[in-house]
């Protein structure tokens, strides 16, 4: 066994924990949303908020660090798939730090102050919308790491662009709301 294999193993394990764990929480939220179960949806959002800074952010950073180590020592940074992976990482990290983290903190404060209100649920719905885009980007990153496309892989690149576009459409094209009416 060589160092590259060890670093690659650590890169893949941290990516699985980051993406897989987050996906399970996202899926629980979607299932609760579809079932109309507000309490389960709030529980998934609470868990996401609690694990975001303590688990998902460190796992995403480890994924990046191990990937950068592989690039720095063995692979290089010139290949298109490396650039796509880094841009995808920057996108999902930015969504996490600029959307999920402050939104989760604001929701937690609102729930502690006012309880579960229609305003809290509306904020949670917007957070779920961003999660759809976030996981579309993560799916593209995974495909990118496995398929390693070049400029000549037009079909693969087009498919990756379509996944991001579909994620954006699902995120912002109008989704079901779980906000009870004020009647």
Q: State mean pLDDT over 85-111.
A: 90
Read off φ and ψ for residue 83, nearest 5 degrees.
-65, -45
The per-residue pLDDT of the chain, averaged, comes to: 89
The model's pLDDT over 22-52, given as tens digits with 9 standing for 90+, comes to: 899 888 888 988 888 888 888 887 788 778 8
pLDDT of residue 174: 60
pLDDT of residue 179: 44
Neighbours of 20 (CB within 10 A): 11
Report the SS3 class of residue 116.
coil
What letter does residue 173 receive in the DSSP assignment? S
pLDDT at 89 over 80: yes
Give 76's contacts (C-beta < 8 A, 6+ positions apart). Answer: 82
pLDDT at 140 over 90: yes
pLDDT of residue 182: 43
pLDDT band at 130 (very low <50, low <70, confident <90, very high): very high
């Amino acid at each position: 066994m060589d160092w590259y294999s060890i670093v690659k193993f650590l890169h893949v394990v941290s990516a699985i924990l980051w993406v897989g764990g987050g996906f399970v929480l996202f899926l629980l939220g979607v299932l609760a949303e579809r079932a109309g179960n507000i309490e389960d949806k709030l529980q998934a959002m609470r868990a996401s908020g609690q694990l975001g800074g303590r688990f998902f952010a460190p796992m995403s950073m480890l994924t990046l660090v191990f990937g950068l180590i592989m690039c720095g020592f063995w692979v290089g940074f010139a290949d298109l798939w490396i650039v796509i992976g880094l841009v995808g990482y920057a996108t999902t990290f930015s969504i996490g730090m600029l959307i999920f983290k402050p939104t989760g903190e604001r929701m937690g404060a609102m729930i502690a102050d006012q309880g579960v209100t229609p305003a809290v649920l509306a904020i949670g719905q917007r957070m779920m919308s961003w999660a759809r885009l976030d996981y579309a980007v993560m799916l593209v990153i995974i495909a990118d790491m496995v398929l390693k496309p070049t400029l000549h892989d037009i079909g693969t690149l087009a498919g990756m662009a379509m996944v991001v576009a579909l994620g954006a459409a699902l995120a912002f094209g109008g989704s079901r709301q779980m906000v009870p009416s004020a009647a």
